[in-house]
Amino acid sequence: MAVFDTPQEAFAALRPLCVQLTRAQTVENVSRLQSRLAAVSAPALQQLQEYVLFPLRFALKVPGPRQERLVLSLLRCISSVLATTCVKKPELLQELFSELCTCLAPPSSPSKPAPLSEELKLAVIQALHTLMHSAYGDVILSLYQPSTLPLLGFAVSLLLGLAEQEKAKQIKISSLQCLQVLALQCDCQEHQHLDEDEAQQCGDVFASFLPGISITLSRVITGDIKQGHKPTVSAIRLFYQVVGLVMADEQLARAPKDKEKPPVEQSKIAELMVHRGPDWSKSTAEKLCLLLQKVVEFSSVHPHWKVRLELVELVQHLLRNCSRSLVDSFGHLLKALVGLVNDENSQVQSRCSEVLRGAAERGAVAQSRALADVLSENLHSLATALPRLMNSRDDAGKVSTLSLLLGYLKLLGPRINIVLNSTSHLQRLSKALVQVLELDVTDVKIVEDRRWGGEGACGPAGSLQRGVQRGRSQKKYFRFFAEEKVFQLLQQVCRVLGYYGNLYLLVDHFMGLYGDSGMYRKQAALVLNELIAGAAGTGVDVLQEREVAPSVDDLRGSITSVLDEYTDPANWYLITSIEAEESSPEHAVPRSGLAARPGALCGSVLLPPPEPHPATRTMNSNIWQICIQLEGVGCFAAVLGREFRSLLLSALYPVLEKAGDKTLLISETALGTLVDICEACSYDSVQCLINENSDYLVNGISLNLRQLAHQPHASRVLDTVLRHSDASLLPLVEDVIQDVLSALDQSYSNQAPAFLRVLLSVMTALGRWFGSSCAGDQRRGRSEASSRGQRAVTAQGVERLFLDYVRQKQIAEGNVPDTGDEETDEIPPLAKPEPNDSDTEGEAPLPSHAQLAKAVMERCIHLLSDGSLRVRLKVLDVLELCVTVLHPHGNHLLPMAHRVWPALVTRLISDDPLAVLRAFKVQQQVSASSLQAGA
């Protein structure tokens, strides 16, 4: 088809079709005209714009009923013409605007949309949208005059009705977008650069429509969620654009104080215009405050992230443009902002943080009210409502409330001390934190989960770092919430407080809560740990940097006071099991003025008599308190780094005590704390940590072992030290072991169980350090004994052993055989032992570890007949380890084996089945080692 480039050619081609359409308004005639228009160039059509639009407009205004298909064709044709051309006459713009709006309103009710099809409504809205964009330059401003106020109001009411009442999503969205164009707030280039006068003119006109627009849009925003997120997003955008236009601080500042008197001929229309004076601004701001509160509360919890993101844009737009006029709404706007700063969507969170940071830097609040005043009021309200909310099952509400609390603290930033300096605010906030952080301590498995005997204690010291990772951050269960997100928010709240707040004030306040009430002790310890981590800037997310960071001396001072309180005997020695209570009284002691600690090198802590058996809940609570305090020690080490070495004298010994605890949760947490200390203080491993501090540790162990009745935990420290060290520590602990043996000789009757725990730890370590070669020798000896060459010697030795036992038994029963009996003659004479080179005067001295094993074995012989089954079982365990260590030294092992044999046989003949089984295993070990040594 040929293209008509000149107006003459285009006129000749279009005239017949325009005349035909004027005579007969049919769908076919409209279609022919639209087809021919496609062949006309844009410049030529611009010249013929009014001529072409005349038959189309005439067809729309023909009285009487019209086919909907015809109106739809006319609207589409008009839109195509307007999309190609520009409207350059204000009269034409207003006439077309009026005619298109009339298509939506029925004659009976002009203010309501007609019951038209969805397709026709969309066509009218699209035509209006295209018409506004086709207005050229200043022509569009002709719509924003007092004289056109009724026409513009008519269009606004029609589009608002469609946006609120229509069910079709596309109609809602198109109506809102068309209203955005009417407010000159669309995203096109022509409407983005309104100068001050043009914006003022538009704002004056839309001030008359603000009540209707804001109320209707608030209903759309808070409407049925089934409408989808797009209409809601469009409604929020239009809401803040219109409000930001009409209530802009700059425009209100330029508005005259008194309303100008209009000319007489315009007096009626001028009455419709709103004068944006101080009284009107104040009254409108109060009404908008209610609407904004409603919009914020609904949109901030909307399930779709784009709605929440648009809410952030609303806050940013109003804070930037209306910070003075909407000062009463500032609290609601901040609530929206801080509530989304921890949103689950990264885009919402990022944008919210950016807006919050900008608001904090600008101090976007009216001069009459300080930012801290607004936020402190909200903080006090939140802190009051938080414990009450935690009793409910509303997990989403808990997350939302804590997000608000965290956001307010972040926005306050360095001003947070203004709030903390208020006693009522600090007490309310601290009580809220310790109440919601209450732990659930009802799980009986916490008490049941034990580590028996030292299983796994013989593992290599270097394996600690590999096996302890799961114990470094114990998962906690809380009474009022189960979601991890809630705990993470509470952690951030505490860390932000520590980051910005006065550290000495906060530590002193929560230490008061820690000491005053056992109910709040665990929660206060949790908060203290997080406060100090936040003060060091560890794992804290903030919007602005603090003015002055605490020095290392400040951190060390706070940590020292907290550490002293944690390791105070009243808080460190708590009942964690009934067995522990019976064997070594682990119960809280009354608080005293002395800062005595388990690792102190002087004095001792006298523990009172045990109380009645505590409930499982109490023991669980004690276990968690110890674990939280241990985690605190690890946290303090991470905060100070190498500076924590100066506090090792007060911290290392207590942690090593707990690393040897029977309760698995405590021991794992303590081992994790040791790893944290190693990493913070730049030790290569726990073994290096122990070895480099061994002189202090051994001295403390030695002093406390001398008072084992009052210091029952010293054996745990020794056990942990030996378990995670190597043979290089033996010279240091040798004197300690000798002291233990001497003490055992003096009070074995009542202190045997405690001393045996120490001896078991020692022999386990000696077996690990020096027993590998012994075990290899035993295996090689058994292999050689099974060979054919040694079989006769082995058989002879076994025969001799049992014949000697039979003879001794007969003598004990008084059945002494006759020396001339034939049976005795059959007993082969015992061969005299051959002299051994080791018996000569040049025999090498017995190594120190073997000497210790021999000395321990001598004590075990006497304790094998103890009346306590538990003691006898532990003696057998120690005895087996002694045999293992003495195996390479046959000349010393054989006499000891001969001495232990009668006591061991007694255990085999008449004892508890557990002791018989254990004694049989030891007998096998003794027999094998003795035979190998004799061979």
Q: What is the pLDDT of residue 717?
A: 81
Q: What are 630-648's pLDDT values in tens digits?
A: 999 999 999 999 999 999 9
- Integer CA distances (angstroms), 689 to 195, 454, 534, in order: 72, 21, 27
Closest-CA residue to 572 (of 554, 599, 553): 599
Regarding predicted confidence, which is higher, 717 or 549? 549
pLDDT band at residue 332 using 50, 70 and 90 as cut-offs: confident
User: Does 296 or 874 have the greater pLDDT score?
Assistant: 296
Whole-number Å distance between alpha carbons of 500 and 410: 9
Interatomic CA distance for residues 732 and 690, integer angstroms: 12
Instruction: Report the length, in residues, of the chain.
Output: 935
Binned at pLDDT 50, 70 and 90, residue 267 comes out as: low
- At residue 313, the pLDDT reads 94
Q: Which amino acid is at 513?
A: L
Cα 544 to Cα 413: distance, rounded to the nearest angstrom:
7
The CA-based dihedral angle spanning residues 93, 96, 97, 99, taken in that order and rounded to the nearest 10 degrees: 160
Q: How confident is the model at residue 687 (pLDDT cuts 50, 70, 90)?
A: confident
Any idea which of 32-36, 82-86, 359-363, 693-697 has the lowest mean pLDDT? 359-363
- Average pLDDT, stretch 854-867? 76
More confident residue, 133 or 798: 133
In degrees to the nearest 10, what's the CA dihedral of 83, 84, 87, 88?
150
Phi, psi dihedral angles at 547 (to 5 degrees): -70, -45
Instruction: Indicate if the pLDDT at residue 897 is higher than 60.
Output: yes
pLDDT at 266: 54
What integer is the mean pLDDT of 904-919? 79
CA dist., res. 613 & res. 579, Å (int) = 10
Which 3 state secondary structure label does DSSP give 109? coil
Containing H/E element for 887?
A: none
Say whether pLDDT at 601 is over 70: no
pLDDT at res. 824: 39
Query: Quick one: average pLDDT of 534-563?
Result: 90
Query: What does the alpha-carbon distance between residue 782 and residue 491 come to, in Å, rounded to a whole number?
Result: 61
* pLDDT per residue as tens digits for the range 392-422: 777 777 887 888 888 888 878 888 888 888 8
Report d(CA 683, CA 371) in Å as an integer: 47
The model's confidence at residue 930, banded by pLDDT at 50, 70 and 90, is low
Q: List the single range of 313-322, 640-649, 836-845 with lowest mean pLDDT.
A: 836-845
Q: Residue 127's closest CA among 98, 152, 149, 147?
A: 98
Q: Which residue has the higher pLDDT, 351 or 780?
A: 351
Most confident option among 677-681, 720-724, 846-850: 677-681
Residue 660 has pLDDT above 70, yes or no: yes
Could you give the angle at which helices 890-909 and 913-934 cross, rounded to 10 degrees? 150
Q: Is 87 helix (H, G, I), strand (E, B) or coil?
A: strand
Q: What is the mean pLDDT of the chain?
A: 79
Q: What is the pLDDT of residue 468?
A: 43
DSSP string, 170-236: HHHHHHHHHHHHHTT-SSSGGGT---HHHHHHHHHHHTTTHHHHHHHHHHHHTS-GGG-HHHHHHHH
Question: How far apart are alpha carbons 593 and 604 in whole angstroms?
Answer: 14
Please tell me which residue, 121 or 864, carries the higher pLDDT value.
121
pLDDT in tens, 206-248: 999 999 999 999 999 998 888 889 999 999 999 999 999 999 9
Q: Is residue 785 classed as helix, strand or coil in its secondary structure?
A: helix
User: Which of 288-302, 494-508, 673-687, 695-709 is predicted least confidently?
Assistant: 695-709
Top pLDDT among 635 and 910 is at 635
d(CA 551, CA 562): 17
Give, in order, the Cα–Cα distances in Å from 626 to each of 28, 239, 923. Answer: 89, 55, 42
Residue 894 is predicted with a pLDDT of: 77
Banded model confidence at residue 117, pLDDT cuts 50, 70, 90: confident
With beta carbons less than 8 A apart as the criterion, state whether 676 and 638 touch: yes
- Distance, in Å, from the CA atom of 218 to the CA atom of 469, rounded to the nearest integer, reads 52
* Largest Cα–Cα separation, the chain: 158
Asked whether residue 831 carries a pLDDT value surpassing 70, the answer given is no
Q: Count CB-CB contacts under 10 A for residue 5.
A: 13
pLDDT attached to residue 255: 81
Predicted structure pTM score = 0.69
Question: Which amino acid type is present at position 413?
Answer: G
Question: What does the pLDDT read at residue 445?
Answer: 66
Least confident of 95-104, 344-353, 515-524, 915-924: 915-924
Q: Please compute the mean of the pLDDT values over residues 307-326 and round it to a whole number.
A: 91
Confidence of residue 389 (pLDDT cuts 50, 70, 90): confident
Tokens encoding 191: 């409407």
**pLDDT tops 60 at residue 59:** yes
More confidently predicted of 8 and 593: 8
308 Cβ contact partners less than 8 Å away, ≥ 6 residues apart: 299, 300, 302, 340, 343, 345, 348
Cα dist from 682 to 28, 326, 672, whole Å: 89, 56, 15
Predicted local confidence at residue 447, as pLDDT? 67
- According to DSSP, the residues that pair with 87 across neighbouring strands are 135
Q: Left, alpha or beta for 109 (phi > 0: left; psi -120 to 50: alpha)? A: beta
Query: Which residues share a beta bridge with 40?
Result: 4
pLDDT greater at residue 398 or residue 305: 305
pLDDT of residue 780 exceeding 60, the answer is no
Q: What share of the chain is helix, strand, coil (3-state, %, to 5)?
A: 70, 0, 30
pLDDT, tens only, 185-203: 887 765 556 788 888 889 9
